[in-house]
Chains A and B, each alone.
Chain A
Amino acid sequence: MSDTPMIDQLETGPWPSFIKDIKRMAAKNAMCKDLLGLLEMSYKDKKTHWKHGGIVGVRGYGGGIIGRYSDSPEKFPNVSHFHTVRVNQPSAWFYNTGALRYLCDLWEKHGSGLTNLHGSTGDFIMLGTTTDHLEDIFTDLSEHGWDLGGSGSDVRTPSCCNGMARCEFACYDTMNLCYDLTNEYQDELHRPAFPYKFKFKMSGCPNDCVASIARSDCSIIGTWRDDIQQDNAAITEYAKGGKVDIANDVVAKCPTGCMSWDGSKLSIDNKNCNRCMHCINVMPKALRPGKDKGAMILLGAKAPIVQGALLSSVLVPFIKMEPPYEEFKDLIRRIWEFWDEHGENRERIGEMIVRIGKGNFVEEVGLEPTPAMIKEPRSNPYIFYEEYFDEE
């Protein structure tokens, strides 16, 4: 009989199983063998046998390594330590095979060989090593041009969609901005000094393929401020082709009702378009984002930890997003300064904004309030205008 009957069942489902991967590695790595045993014990006991963390790292950096210890080192000595190493991924996760081979070889040499591509912050995650290997791993990575990612109360590894590298909808160069911010904020990334974590995520268009609006304290989402580019000949082609029912599949699904179709001509009231991208996604050959492109800045998303989950809300409706990004960086400096001074310990910036009120926050970071600073399209303006009350 198998030593791990309970976790064996996980291999029988319809999905690829992580147990199968661990078993494969267990044939040549003692850590993985003990990992299976520890996991089986967790399923049997109905509780985790990982302790809740650990204080480990490499000198010069305050983050990048997540300590993990088991509570059963006597039974499973090879996973008494099972630390995670976060490696700063390249912008938009473009690797060549040589880079991937190097990372995997390094990890088989110093760790369990198990990886997780990619962590929710975006890093290349290496699972399972011991404290005595950490400095060697860090040195090796550095010598090969790699760096650790963020963890703890720092700027987390910025991440982005593949933007202009592959996507015709990209309204700014996400990969360039991601690379620029990663270099600009090295100190903030590696030397935690904030009230809590701060994540940047960059999407080139409102499709938001990296889900920045849900997963980052600062979402930078590409947009445009002129009219959708419209190719009427291509629209006619879509209509004739029969694959797209423009009236039902496009116009009827426009969330703001800003489009009309008379059977031969598509009209868009661009002032009422909220950049949902639906029409562009359905007819990409006929419709494109406008020519005056940039990004909107949203703040405040987070998963539920200290308080409940939040989505980002609009802070800057439109900003030109071109190197060297000085206007954006100046805004970030003011935001950090205020959060750093007034944020409570372990308070994400979105939680602070909820606590103090968006109107106060906007004023403190030196922005003029506008009706476009919204929580979601066409609802919930945060700011009550004094003029409004004066008229009352």
Chain B
Amino acid sequence: MDRETLSELLLARKYQEAMDLVKKRHGNLRILLGLLYSEEELLRWRAVTLLGLVAAEGSTDLAPAVRRLLWFLNEESSTVGWCSAQAIAEIYRNNPGMARDAIRAVLHLSDDEEVSLPANRNTPILAGSVWAIGALAEDEPALVSEMGPALVKFLEDPEPVIRGFSAWALGRMRFAAAKEGLGKLTGDEAVISLYEGDALTNISVARAAGDALEKIRKNDE
């Protein structure tokens, strides 16, 4: 298998065929991990999805890959795990045992000054962590609830992707204390690209905030 074949299968949503290829030979898993760095945004996300499906299927132990992905988020690794956070979250969501040791570190990247402070800011990595919180919010509310206050602060972040992902995640968390902050974003027309299900959608931060408020209100009722 080569990178192009796997890429085509993922873009065509042929997940079963892609999974069969990945399971066929261990080196193919490495190719899948390589797609997490792809320049093509949809392809990176679909690689995240496929890793989740491989985890759910269970026959391939992804724990070593998770350790590798976590190391790529370490500031000493000289690697940039652009989609490491999302991949670990998706693996955890589908098979918690494979990523149990890593998931808290991923969710707490927003507490990590190497990633989040303005002087050291790495917006894509931080956005990945925020997305991971949102992705796990409905299945693992207890795990992510402590990140609510941090996400509320991010609603004022200068980067639209951080504001938008935070709004989306807070909605999925039904985090009532975020209502005021979300309300301030109703006029924020900056557009972000959000991956949900297995599709990328361009939405405004205002729309993400509005949807989040709607979810919180429904939850309050």
Contacts and interface: CB of A to CB of B under 8 A. Distances in A.
A187 interface: yes
Interface stretch (A29-37, A41-49, A339-347, A363-371): A339-347
Contacts of A59: 39, 82, 124
B72 A62 contact: yes
Interface in A183-240: 187-188, 190-195
Measured as residues with beta carbon below 8 angstroms from the partner, the interface class of chain B is 35 or more
B25 A63 contact: no
B68 interface: yes
A333 interface: yes
B119 A55 contact: no
A54 interface: yes
A193 B33 contact: yes
Contacts of B34: 187-188, 191, 193
Contacts of B81: 55, 62
Main SS of chain A's interface residues?
loop
Nearest to A66: B78
A153 B79 CA distance: 7
Interface of B: 3, 25-27, 29-31, 33-39, 64, 67-68, 71-82, 114-115, 119-122, 124-125
Nearest to A73: B119
A59 B114 CA distance: 19
Contact of A54 (B38, B64, B68, B114): B114
A61 B75 contact: no
Given A333-B27, A337-B26, A341-B26, A153 B80 contact: no
Interface residues of A, number: 40
A32 B26 CA distance: 47
Given A57-B82, A193-B30, 20 more contacts: A51-B75, A52-B75, A54-B114, A55-B73, A55-B125, A57-B80, A62-B81, A62-B82, A67-B75, A69-B119, A153-B68, A153-B72, A192-B72, A193-B68, A333-B27, A337-B26, A340-B26, A340-B29, A341-B26, A345-B67
Nearest to A63: B79
Contact of B79 (A52, A154, A344): A154
B112 to A, nearest CB: 9
Contacts of B3: 187
B37 A61 contact: yes
B82 A345 contact: no
